[in-house]
C-alpha cells in the first residue's frame, strides 16, 4: 500500500509551454494520476501562446489553485527560449520553502508522466542528486521521430559527450529530476544561454560541482520534429556554444553569483509577469 509522502516537502514540475492548448488538460490529468500520493505543484511558463493555452491553464488553476501556477512572459528573441523559461520557473520554485524536489519536462507529451515515479524515487532515496530520463540507455526507446531527426540528435549528443563527459549518455533530453540543492546550484551560477543549449550548460555545472548524476531508461515520443525546423545557423550557434561550455567546464571557469544557500528573494523569476 502506497504511503502519502506528506513529510518530505513538495514536488515542483517546471513546464515551459508555447501553443500547447491541445495537450495541457491531458498532461495535467496524467501527472495527477502518476503523482497521486505526492504533494506537487506545476509551474507553467508561457512565452506568448495564442492558441488558448493560457485560458486552459487558468481554467485548470481555478479548479485546483494549489496545484497549478502560471508565469506569463513575452517572447523577445527568435527561436526556443526554453532555458530562460526554466530559469524563471526555477527561481519561483526555490522561492517556496516547501519545494524539495524539482522536475523539468516538456508540455507537448513527448515526456511520459507515467515515468515520474521512477525519477522521483531515485532522488527521494538519496541514490542521486540529479536523474536524467535518457533516450540512449539500454531499454530506452524513441517513437514517432523521423530517422533523420534521430540521427541529427544522436550525432550532436555524441559530440557533446566527447567534449564534456562520456559518463552521461543524454545531454539534450529535458526530462530531469533533481534536489533543491542541485536547483540552488543552478540559481547561484551565471547562466549564459537561454536557448535549449541551457540543458548542456546546466549539466556541465552539475558535473563540475560534483553532484551525483544518474540516468534511467525512458520512452521519448516525438512531436512534429522534422528537419525543416532545424536551421543551419541554429546548429552553428549550438556548436559554438558547446565548445564554449566545454572550455569553461575543463578550465573550471563557471561564474558564481553567490554561495548555494537559500535565496532571500524570489530572484530572477520576479521579472516575469505572473
Which of 97, 123, 127 lies closest to 261 in space, CA to CA? Answer: 97
Q: How far apart are CA 197 and CA 225, in angstroms?
A: 17
pLDDT value of residue 129: 97
Give how many domains the chain has, as a whole number.
Answer: 1
Question: Is the Cα dihedral 72, 236, 247, 215 positive or negative?
Answer: positive
**3-class secondary-structure state, position 249:** helix
pLDDT value of residue 195: 83
End-to-end CA distance of the chain: 39
Give the range of the structural domain holding residue 99, as residue numbers without chain letter. 10-144+168-222
pLDDT value of residue 256: 60
Domain assignment present for residue 1? The answer is: no
Q: How far apart are CA 21 and CA 109, in angstroms?
A: 12
Q: What number of H helices and E strands is found in the chain?
A: 8, 9
Domain assignment present for residue 233? The answer is: no
Q: How far apart are CA 81 and CA 77, in angstroms?
A: 8
CA distance to 180, 193, 263, per residue, from 183 (Å): 5, 16, 11
pLDDT value of residue 130: 98
Spatial neighbors of 240 by CB under 8 A, at least 6 apart, are none
pLDDT value of residue 233: 77
Neighbours of 213 (CB within 10 A): 19
H-type alpha helices, 100-229: 116-124, 147-163, 180-187, 198-208
> Residues 205, 254: contact at Cβ < 8 Å?
yes
Residue stretches of the chain with pLDDT short of 70: 1-8, 75-80, 224-231, 255-274
pLDDT value of residue 225: 54
Tell me the pLDDT tens digit for each residue of 27-61.
999 999 999 999 999 999 998 999 999 999 999 99
Domain assignment present for residue 3? The answer is: no
CATH number at residue 125: 3.90.550.10
> Residues 24, 17: contact at Cβ < 8 Å?
yes
Which of 73, 81, 71 lies closest to 44 in space, CA to CA? Answer: 71
pLDDT value of residue 148: 82
Domain assignment present for residue 207? The answer is: yes
Tell me the pLDDT tens digit for each residue of 131-146.
999 999 999 999 988 8
C-alpha cell belonging to residue 185: 546550484
Domain assignment present for residue 162? The answer is: no
Domain assignment present for residue 72? The answer is: yes
Domain assignment present for residue 55? The answer is: yes
pLDDT value of residue 94: 97
Show the beta-strand stretches assigned E in the chain: 10-17, 40-46, 68-72, 99-104, 130-134, 141-143, 176-179, 213-217, 219-221
Amino acid at each position: 500500500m502506497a504511503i502519502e509522502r506528506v513529510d518530505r516537502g513538495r514536488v515542483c514540475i517546471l513546464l515551459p509551454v508555447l501553443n500547447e492548448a491541445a495537450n495541457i488538460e491531458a498532461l495535467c490529468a496524467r501527472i495527477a494520476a502518476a503523482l497521486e500520493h505526492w504533494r506537487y505543484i506545476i509551474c507553467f511558463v508561457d512565452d506568448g501562446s495564442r492558441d488558448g493555452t493560457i485560458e486552459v491553464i487558468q481554467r485548470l488553476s481555478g479548479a485546483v489553485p494549489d496545484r497549478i501556477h502560471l508565469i506569463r512572459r513575452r517572447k523577445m528573441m527568435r527561436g526556443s527560449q526554453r532555458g530562460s523559461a526554466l530559469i524563471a520557473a526555477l527561481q519561483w520554485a526555490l522561492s517556496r520553502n516547501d519545494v524539495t524536489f524539482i522536475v523539468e519536462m516538456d508540455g507537448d507529451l513527448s515526456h511520459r508522466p507515467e515515468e515520474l515515479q521512477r525519477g522521483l524515487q531515485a532522488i527521494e532515496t538519496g541514490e542521486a542528486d540529479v536523474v536524467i530520463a535518457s533516450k540512449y540507455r539500454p531499454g530506452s526507446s524513441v517513437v514517432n521521430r523521423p530517422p533523420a531527426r534521430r540521427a541529427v540528435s544522436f550525432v550532436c549528443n555524441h559530440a557533446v559527450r566527447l567534449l564534456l563527459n562520456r559518463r552521461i549518455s543524454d545531454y539534450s533530453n529535458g526530462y530531469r529530476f533533481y534536489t533543491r540543492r542541485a536547483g540552488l546550484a543552478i540559481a547561484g551560477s551565471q547562466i549564459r544561454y537561454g536557448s535549449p543549449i541551457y540543458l548542456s550548460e546546466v549539466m556541465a555545472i552539475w558535473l563540475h560541482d560534483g553532484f551525483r548524476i544518474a540516468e534511467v531508461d525512458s520512452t521519448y515520443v516525438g512531436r512534429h520534429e522534422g528537419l525543416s525546423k532545424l536551421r543551419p545557423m541554429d546548429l552553428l550557434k549550438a556548436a559554438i556554444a558547446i565548445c564554449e561550455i566545454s572550455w569553461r567546464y575543463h578550465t573550471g571557469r563557471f561564474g558564481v553569483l553567490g554561495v548555494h544557500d537559500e535565496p532571500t528573494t524570489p530572484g530572477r523569476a520576479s521579472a516575469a509577469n505572473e
